[in-house]
Amino acid sequence: MKRLQFVRHARDFGMSIDQTREFLVPEADGPGGCIKAREIVQQRIDEVKERRLELARLAASLDAMARRCDATCSPSPALPCTIFEDIADAAA
């Protein structure tokens, strides 16, 4: 039961299956286990920081799309929405 709870908590911290598995090998609780655990946690910190940067870039892009739409779109259905253009251009 403790093992299952550990796996759930590791998942709550965003640990991958491989990272969690590394915590569960018998050697992880012995001498040197703290060093390996620290490496795994540092790897997760780095991943979270990188993801935060990606999300900030995404938010900036979405904000720019919304501002462009606010500035150029009219209520007229005859004009295409700039958001569709922005998404299509990003895919190209």
Structure confidence at residue 27 (pLDDT): 62
What sections of the chain are H helices per DSSP? 2-12, 17-24, 33-72, 82-91
Q: Pick 31 or 49 by higher pLDDT.
A: 49
Identify the residue with better confidence: 31 or 38. 38
Instruction: Select from 12, 18, 9, 14 the least CA-distant residue to 36.
Output: 18
Phi, psi of 68 (to 5 degrees): -65, -40
Q: 44-76, pLDDT tens digit by residue?
A: 999 999 999 999 999 999 999 999 988 887 776
